[in-house]
Amino acid sequence: MLVVRPIKKSDYDALHTCAVESGHGFTSLPVNEELLTNRITHSEYSFSKESVTEPGDEGYLMVGFDTETGEVAGTTGIEASIGWDVPFYSYHISKVVHSSNKLGVNNVVKLLTFGNNYTGCSEICTLFLRPDFRKGLNGRLMSKSRFLLMAEHPHRFSKTIFAEMRGVSDADGNSPFWQWLQDHFFSIDFTLADYLTGIGKKGFIADLMPKLPIYINLLSQEAQDVIGVVHENTRPALKLLENEGFTNRGYVDIFDAGPTVECDLRNIDSVRDSIRAKVVIAEHSSSQAYLMGNTSFENFRAVAAKGAYDLASESVILSSEVAEALEVNEGDFVRLLAQ
């Protein structure tokens, strides 16, 4: 059984393995010991932080582990409020019309405008599932466990939730979009720029990034073709978020031009559709599968398992194995999301 829980210091080796396996373009998991260690430390601090009434500098990082082998299957995370301590940049796609009635000419031209419009929003990030575990409900659990946490503790997160999706790059980490920026404004390749951003050294962005809007039709055709296009390996994650109600509102990543998608917290399907139920521990024959999370924050646990929900009593029968994985007792509450 796969169980999602907050990361801890002893998970460092597993997190490093995920960073290596995630490959180029996965900015939130750079292969850097200091940064990965700091992320774990900050996550432990964030999960233990009490009396949180609004989102702040908290960063929540979780892992999914196999209860049979103890092996870590992947990671998933949430940043409660981004852009305050370290600037968060994005491009917004807008339109201008160049028109001349005298000449009978009307041209609609798209622009990329540099900005910090997601400052203060909560970001879902660092979703990576190792190849051997990409089966069953594991991917859904790793992604949607974050929404179960948000549904139970909404005051810790902002009204707007967003996610940056990895854009197009090849096996060597070359991005067609970045190649154009590199040729005209930068002198470093995509993998280095991506790595520097991942370790928090973003000063070069403000120093070198063009401040005025960029006319998209002046970019190379290769760069134009990948604006707003997701990396092949990220398509399932994007589809899952789109099914949750996330949509692209014209924002793209400044390095690889991958799409950014967003949704109001209250309108995320898994937040809106999840329900609370009192735990009854007993054997059952139900075939209904649920994503389940306990109601604790510091000791959050989530699994994908079968349960027998009774609407009249607002209770759910769980096997002892599932109850143990969720660290709940008879009479405790869990949050359920039917699959």
**% of the chain exceeding 70 in pLDDT:** 92
Domain ranges in the chain? 2-84+119-167+227-270, 274-338
Reply yes or no on whether 231 is catalytic.
Answer: yes
Q: What are phi and psi of 28, to 5 degrees?
A: -80, -5
DSSP for residue 174 = -
Q: At what angle do helices 235-244 and 138-152 cross, to 10 degrees?
A: 40
pLDDT of residue 167 exceeding 70, the answer is yes
Q: Give dist(CA 105, CA 101) in Å, integer.
A: 7
C-alpha neighbours within 13 Å on the C-beta side of residue 124: 30
Beta bridge partners of 210: none
Strands 59-66 and 72-79: antiparallel
For 289, other C-beta atoms within 10 Å of its C-beta total: 16
Place of tokens 């009204």: 159
Write out the two tokens for 185: 């404004």
Tell me how long the chain is: 339
* pLDDT tens-place string over residues 29-59: 878 888 899 999 999 999 999 889 999 999 9
Architecture per CATH, domain 274-338, reads as Beta Barrel (2.40)
H or E segment to which residue 5 belongs: strand 2-6
Q: Is the pLDDT of residue 75 over 70?
A: yes
Average pLDDT, the chain: 91
Q: For residue 320, how many C-alpha atoms fall within 13 Å in the half-sphere facing its CB?
A: 2
Look at residue 187 in the predicted model and tell me its pLDDT: 60
The rounded distance, in Å, linking the Cα atoms of 184 and 179 is: 9
CA atoms within 13 A on the CB side of 73: 24
Contact 125, 78 (CB under 8 A): yes
According to DSSP, the β-strands at 333-338 and 275-281 are antiparallel
Q: What class is the 2-84+119-167+227-270 domain?
A: alpha beta
pLDDT tens per residue, range 277-302 = 999 999 999 999 999 999 999 999 99
Note whether 251 and 167 are within 8 A (CB): no
Q: Are β-strands 160-164 and 122-129 bridged in parallel, bridged antiparallel, or unpaired?
A: parallel
Structure tokens at 114: 């540099």
Nearest Cα neighbor of 165 from 112, 88, 235 is: 235
CB of 76 within 8 A of CB of 62?
Answer: yes
pLDDT tens digit sequence for 230-282: 999 889 999 999 999 999 999 999 888 999 999 999 999 999 999 999 999 99
Measured between alpha carbons, how far is 53 from 24 in angstroms, rounded to an integer? 36
How many CA atoms within 13 Å lie on the side-chain side of 133?
24
Q: Kindly report the backbone phi and psi dihedral angles of residue 174, in degrees, each rounded to the nearest multiple of 5, phi listed first.
A: -90, 125
Residue with the two structure tokens 């092949």: 232
Helix H segments across the chain? 12-22, 33-48, 138-152, 176-184, 190-198, 203-208, 221-225, 235-244, 269-273, 320-326
For the cut 60, the answer to whether the pLDDT of residue 202 exceeds it is no
Predicted pLDDT at 211: 77
Which 3 state secondary structure label does DSSP give 77?
strand
200 close to 86: Cβ distance less than 8 angstroms: yes
Residue 266, token pair as written in the block: 């209250």
pLDDT average, residue stretch 311-339: 97
Catalytic residue among 24, 42, 231, 284: 231
